């Protein structure tokens, strides 16, 4: 089970189940600045399915026969959510960081769907710290959803709130709302309606439905859907449940009987949660394993991976390491290019090193300062975009010897950028692989949060074109930034801001 390990205690060194790769020098490549300007970069005797075949090892693999829909705009995402809620017959399963306290329409649609269909079941998985944070009116995600539990009962409506084991005891009492979220979050974004799954990095709040750009992909397959329903249910087994109760907040939180409370006994909680996740992932791997010889280049593959390092699960971390190695190995013999996007220029050290040491050309797409969600923040948070510019400039300086690595910033008037993922073209004009999901590829995506993403290897030209147009649509609102421009932007930044860099890189 690649990237899965059992933990006995947090201070016991776990067995490592993934290979480690050494850095390699990369050859120089002529710089090309736009994916739309690319044509075939040279012949290759291997198909993408052959190149990426190692990614199918140690992970569940789904052959998707129905067309995959690539959504491009937040409004499309919201319409698909409402459509899914209205037409679901068996179950609705929503996994997000939080639900905006203003999303009364979304909750009303859930209520109407439950009232229309007495067989419908609803599961919601949110983060406990973010989901109980109150707005100026005292409302929270938990308070918004508690009435559904009261009206329709726990048998039909289950609301789970995952709490990180990294915040417990006195430290939990000491850290205020918002700041306590830096210790770890439930960050998985998957929205399931019967056999349809929308994989995204978007949360369920108004800006993500209007002017906060993310990525969204709808995949229809009963087994793929069942995987994510089981994933949410498994996490729910070691999460708090939202119940009707407290008059002040409108709800109460309870752990299931026999499950350790992460705020009181984090070591036992980690042991129990790890055991449940190992069982889930092992079962999924066995049930959905594929033989390499059974995969055709006409098969569209969906490979889900999860990351929960606080719980001893490093599946996605191993998967990404393997991906970078495969792209590097391919690029040593053929020209290759890939695009990697994140909401923030805060890529982990290992991912930055993988890009810098790769023989492939890389384009990195991130939010410009104006498109950063913290741009209009108050207090110390208003300096976070400046901090990302400092980190961005340092990387550009590290990459100065490479003329085939570019940084692009998303800038769209009145919009913020929250997209993340990978598009790998190898040496072809259309994408041969994409990754989509919740990770921002930063330190906390690897070490602190619960994350999930899906690697899609397209089996037909139409899907490749759709994925390519998605990338071009994002790049149409971006521009390449140079090291000199970043240097000028960060000149004059206060020294204390640079001193906060280690905190930002590991917490934000």
Task: Tell me whether strands 62-64 and 69-71 are parallel, antiparallel or unpaired.
Answer: unpaired
What is the CB neighbour count within 10 angstroms for residue 244? 14
Alpha-carbon span 30 to 481, nearest angstrom: 17
Calpha distance 314→16 (Å, rounded): 10
Question: Of 111, 163, 187, 319, which residue is the catalytic one?
Answer: 187
| 422 closest CA partner among 183, 217, 222 | 217
DSSP assigned state of 182: G
Burial of 291 (0-12, 13-18, 19+ CB in 10 A): exposed
Closest Cα to residue 121, out of 97, 90, 148, 98?
A: 90
Nearest to 160 by CA among 132, 189, 136, 126: 126
Catalytic residue among 49, 111, 163, 189: 189
Closest CA to 507 of 180, 163, 118: 180
Q: Choosing from 49, 111, 194, 352, which is the catalytic residue?
A: 194
- Interatomic CA distance for residues 18 and 313, integer angstroms: 11
* Structure letter (DSSP) for residue 461: H
397 is known as an active-site residue: no
194 tagged catalytic:
yes
Active site residue 187: yes
User: What distance in Å separates the CA atoms of residue 124 and residue 110, rounded to the nearest whole number?
Assistant: 11
Show the tokens assigned to 13.
Answer: 């060194």
Catalytic residue numbers, as ranges: 187, 189, 194
């Amino acid at each position: 089970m690649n990237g899965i390990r059992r933990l006995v205690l947090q201070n016991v060194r776990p067995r490592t189940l993934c290979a480690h790769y050494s850095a390699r020098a990369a050859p120089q490549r002529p710089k090309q600045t736009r994916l739309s300007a690319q044509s075939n970069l040279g012949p290759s005797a291997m198909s993408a399915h052959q190149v990426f075949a190692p990614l199918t090892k140690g992970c569940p693999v789904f052959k998707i026969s129905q067309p995959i829909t690539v959504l491009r705009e937040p409004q499309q995402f919201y319409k698909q959510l409402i459509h899914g809620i209205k037409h679901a017959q068996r179950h609705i399963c929503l996994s997000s960081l939080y639900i905006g306290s203003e999303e009364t329409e979304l909750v009303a649609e859930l209520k109407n769907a439950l009232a229309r269909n007495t067989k419908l079941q609803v599961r919601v998985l949110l983060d406990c710290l973010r989901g109980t944070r109150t707005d100026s009116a005292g409302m929270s995600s938990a308070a918004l959803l508690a009435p559904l539990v009261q009206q329709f009962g726990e048998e039909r409506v289950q609301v789970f709130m995952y709490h990180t084991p990294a915040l417990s005891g006195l430290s939990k009492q000491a850290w205020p709302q918002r700041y306590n979220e830096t210790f770890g979050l439930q960050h998985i974004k998957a929205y399931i309606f019967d056999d349809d799954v929308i994989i995204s990095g978007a949360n369920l709040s108004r800006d993500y439905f209007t002017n906060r750009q993310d990525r969204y992909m709808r995949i229809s397959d009963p087994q793929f859907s069942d995987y994510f329903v089981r994933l949410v249910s498994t996490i729910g087994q070691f999460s708090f449940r939202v119940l009707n109760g407290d008059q002040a907040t409108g709800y109460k939180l309870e752990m299931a009987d026999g499950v350790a409370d992460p705020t009181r006994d984090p070591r036992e909680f980690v042991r129990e949660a790890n055991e449940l996740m190992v069982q889930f992932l092992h079962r999924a791997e066995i049930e959905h394993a594929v033989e390499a010889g059974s995969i055709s280049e006409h098969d569209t593959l969906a490979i889900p991976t999860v990351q929960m390092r606080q719980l001893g699960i490093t599946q996605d971390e191993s998967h990404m390491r393997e991906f970078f190695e495969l792209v590097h190995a391919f690029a040593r013999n053929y020209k290759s290019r890939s695009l990697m996007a994140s909401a923030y220029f805060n890529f982990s050290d290992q991912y930055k090193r993988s890009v810098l040491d790769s023989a492939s050309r890389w384009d990195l797409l991130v939010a410009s300062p104006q498109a950063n969600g913290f741009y209009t923040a108050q207090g110390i948070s208003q300096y976070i975009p400046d901090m990302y510019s400092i980190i961005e400039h340092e990387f550009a300086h590290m990459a100065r010897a490479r003329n085939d690595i570019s940084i692009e910033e998303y800038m769209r008037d009145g919009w913020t950028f929250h997209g993340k993922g990978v598009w790998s073209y190898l040496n072809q004009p259309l994408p041969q692989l994409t990754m989509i999901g919740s990770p921002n590829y930063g330190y906390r995506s690897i070490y602190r949060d619960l994350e999930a993403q899906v690697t899609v290897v397209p089996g037909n030209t139409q899907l490749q074109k759709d994925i390519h147009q998605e990338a071009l649509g994002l790049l149409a609102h971006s521009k390449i930034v140079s090291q000199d421009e970043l240097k000028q932007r960060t000149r004059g930044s206060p020294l204390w801001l640079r001193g906060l860099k280690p905190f930002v890189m590991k917490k934000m």
